[in-house]
Amino acid sequence: MSGSTPASPTVSDAAGALREPKQVSLGMEAWRRFRRHRLAVAGAFILAFMALAVLLGPWLWPVAINDIDFTSRLQGPSWKHPFGTDDLGQDLLARMIYGGRISLAVGVVAMLIAVFVGVVLGAISGISRGSVDAALMWVTDLFLSLPQLPMLLLVIYLFRDSLKKYIGAEAGIFILIVVVIGIFRWMPVARLVRAQFLSLREKEFVEAARALGASTTRQVVRHILPNALGPVIVAATIDVAAAIIFESTLSFLGLGFPPDIPSWGRLLYDAKDHLDVATHWALFPGGAIFLTVLSITYIGDGLRDALDPRRVM
């Protein structure tokens, strides 16, 4: 999977057509396979739309997220408030845009941490034989059997206040949540990478590199790792969805972001006591989480088809 992402299709098409009509780069081939999974493409579009909406939203909808207006409490959707208002008369569309930024950012950053830790530990354990491998796998199995949500709650409970004191409420909670989710999600990636390494390190091309005198680091970084990344990319996609769900769960339990930082889960938590009078309040953030996770899952499915060359398509 060392092929770069398809840059501009027209240019590479033209270049390809000039030299050799049948030659297609790995990235182009993956893109062709991905496109055949129609739901994955739809998911990619929806996710791109959501990302754009939360990035550009504050300019297109310049309403403060904490504008309290008691004359319009718990109102349903209207032209003035497209997503309605909450019990303090705050505009829900503005809060949803803000919350989307938090939820998506948590998802991506937590995924990066989990994948980084997983790839490093999986690679070390996959390339080294004997006691190092055994010890790392034991730790992986141990972390796999830890109940993640209670551990997350425990860590957040123990570290929340002091981090808030040193870094500030918003950044402190963000860093804590992202790091903790990352720490409890790296195990599947580590196992995947290790399994890939175990088979790849015996392949001829690695042996050739070794025969040419490549150091272990070079073998790993230049030869084994790029070939092991396909399944990791798929797992990383799913990890984004898992991290978004984790963050919403924490906020939904009242232990994630504080009420002045309305992530989607926090909006749901605030909405759950007013279900009978303000249904829209719960349905919009819940629907947003659902749509994001569904899109990411379909994208993951599409990537699996695209990045597995053994699959005939």
Residues contacting residue 131 through CB under 8 Å, at least 6 positions apart: none
**By the rule CB under 8 A, 313 interacts with other proteins:** no
Nearest approach, Cβ of 216 to other proteins (angstroms)?
Answer: 29
Residue with tokens 């990302």: 51
Task: Report the site for other proteins in 141-170 (rule: CB under 8 A).
Answer: 141-142, 144-151, 153-155, 157-159, 161-162
Burial string for 126-148 (b: 16+ CB within 10 Å, else e) reads bbeeeeebeebbeebeebeeeeb
Nearest approach, Cβ of 206 to other proteins (angstroms)?
Answer: 29
Segment interacting with other proteins, rule: CB under 8 A, options 1-9, 129-137, 201-209, 249-257:
249-257
Q: State residue 80 phi and psi, 5-degree precision.
A: -75, -40
Q: How far apart are CA 47 and CA 84, in angstroms?
A: 23
- Beta bridge partners of residue 85, listed in sequence order: 91
From the list 231, 1, 50, the residue with the least C-alpha distance to 126 is: 231
Fill in the per-residue mask, 279 to 298: x = in contact with other proteins (CB under 8 A), - = not in contact: x--x---x--xx--xx--xx
Fill in the per-residue mask, 228 to 247: x = in contact with other proteins (CB under 8 A), - = not in contact: -------------x---x--
The residue within the footprint of other proteins, chosen from 42, 61, 255, 258 (CB under 8 A), is 255
**By the rule CB under 8 A, 41 interacts with other proteins:** no
Pick left, alpha or beta for residue 168 (phi over 0 → left; psi -120 to 50 → alpha; otherwise beta). Answer: left
227 vs 297 by CB, closer to other proteins: 297
**By the rule CB under 8 A, 51 interacts with other proteins:** no
**# residues near other proteins by CB under 8 A:** 42
Residues contacting residue 238 through CB under 8 Å, at least 6 positions apart: 296, 297, 300
Footprint of other proteins (CB under 8 A):
138, 141-142, 144-151, 153-155, 157-159, 161-162, 241, 245, 248-249, 252-255, 265, 268, 271-272, 275-276, 279, 282, 286, 289-290, 293-294, 297-298
